[in-house]
Amino acid sequence: MKILLGEMTREEASKRFTPDTVFLLPVGSVEQHGPHLPLDTDAFDANYACIEAAMRCSDPKPVVLPPVYYGVSLHHMHYKGTITLMPETLITVIVDICTSLVRHGAKKIVVVNGHGGNAHALGCALQTLSHQYEEVLFVLDNGGLAEGTRKRLFTGRNDVHAGEYETSTSLYNRGDLVQLEKAKEGEIIFPSRYLEFSAAERAHYFPFMDMVSSNGVLGNPEKASKEKGKEMWEAMIAGLVNLIEDLKRSG
Ligand SMILES: [Zn+2]
């Protein structure tokens, strides 16, 4: 059974638009990831998670859409190579893609987000769609399905961008593209401890990355390991499989 919509013919695709098929839409970004990780890490990883999870699901397997490679990366625009959408553009793209799916009969759509900067726009898009199409279930996975494993494996503060966590997961699924000798912990400055990304009691703000970190890295990539990356991926993929199987069973 094919899982990639892009590889199906229209006849094959038309058989998959049934009410219990789960559709997975990976969304990423193209943005600086420190001096050591590829620009498309978030897009590659979101797509990777969807494909790995889909392959491990029972039949009928979910359908994985071609990924949305670009995301909201306004905060990384001081670094060359970053390509950003405006938040309203991403909202429009997601609404248009999901509306196409709904017109063909999709009833269960999961957006798998690989980039924290997309979370607000994706939330807006799915909130709007859920209001418009009451009979369709729209779900947003911002990476929280394996939060317990993440907290256990990665205990460093503010480890949210190209740090120990993300360098570990990249060492596992794209180790040949990780330039580990260049991986250095950034010097982090926040205007208030209540604005730290890992603060238990926090408020949100939206600074440019180079206002917060000296090298565009948040977290310590020097502590990364392929083994931790493997364990993290296993947990994330298992979490996504569990969600999909639950959604398949739900009315
Ligand atoms: Zn990333």
* Structure confidence at residue 39 (pLDDT): 98
Question: Which residue, 72, 75, 97, 96, is CA-closest to 85?
Answer: 72
Instruction: Report DSSP letters for 128-142, one per residue.
Output: HHHHH-TTSEEEEE-
Q: How far is the CA of 103 from the centre of ligand 1 (A)?
A: 32
Q: How far is the CA of 194 from the centre of ligand 1 (A)?
A: 23
Q: How far is the CA of 166 from the centre of ligand 1 (A)?
A: 7
The label of the residue with tokens 């359908």 reads 63
Mean pLDDT of 1-20: 97
Domains of the chain with CATH codes: 5-249 (3.40.50.10310)
Burial classification of residue 191, based on how many CB atoms lie within 10 Å of its CB (0-12 exposed, 13-18 middle, 19 or more buried): exposed
Question: Rounded to an integer, what distance in angstroms lies between the CA atom of residue 95 and that of residue 159?
Answer: 31
In the predicted model, is pLDDT for residue 239 greater than 90?
yes
Q: How far is the CA of 59 from the centre of ligand 1 (A)?
A: 31
Q: Which residues are near ligand 1, the ion (C-beta closer than 5 Å)? A: 41-42
Q: How far is the CA of 189 from the centre of ligand 1 (A)?
A: 20
Q: How far is the CA of 34 from the centre of ligand 1 (A)?
A: 10
Q: How far is the CA of 222 from the centre of ligand 1 (A)?
A: 16
**What Rg do the C-alpha atoms of the chain give, in angstroms?**
18
The label of the residue with tokens 């009451």 reads 134
**Across the chain, what does the average pLDDT equal?**
97
The residues, ordered by sequence, that sit 6+ positions from 166 with a Cβ below 8 Å of its Cβ are 33, 37, 41, 219, 221
Query: pLDDT tens across 173-217, in order?
Result: 999 999 999 999 989 999 999 999 999 999 999 999 999 999 999
Q: How confident is the model at residue 235 (pLDDT cuts 50, 70, 90)?
A: very high
Question: Rounded to an integer, what distance in angstroms lies between the CA atom of residue 56 and that of residue 234?
Answer: 11
Question: Rounded to an integer, what distance in angstroms lies between the CA atom of residue 88 and that of residue 84?
Answer: 11
Mean pLDDT of 221-238: 98
Q: How far is the CA of 186 from the centre of ligand 1 (A)?
A: 15
Q: How far is the CA of 7 from the centre of ligand 1 (A)?
A: 27
Q: How far is the CA of 250 from the centre of ligand 1 (A)?
A: 32
Q: How far is the CA of 41 from the centre of ligand 1 (A)?
A: 6
Q: Which amino acid is at 146?
A: A
Q: How far is the CA of 145 from the centre of ligand 1 (A)?
A: 17
* Structure confidence at residue 226 (pLDDT): 98
* Structure confidence at residue 1 (pLDDT): 86
In the predicted model, is pLDDT for residue 251 greater than 80?
no
Query: pLDDT tens across 110-160, in order?
Result: 999 999 999 999 999 999 999 999 999 999 999 999 999 999 999 999 999
The residues, ordered by sequence, that sit 6+ positions from 246 with a Cβ below 8 Å of its Cβ are none
Q: How far is the CA of 42 from the centre of ligand 1 (A)?
A: 5
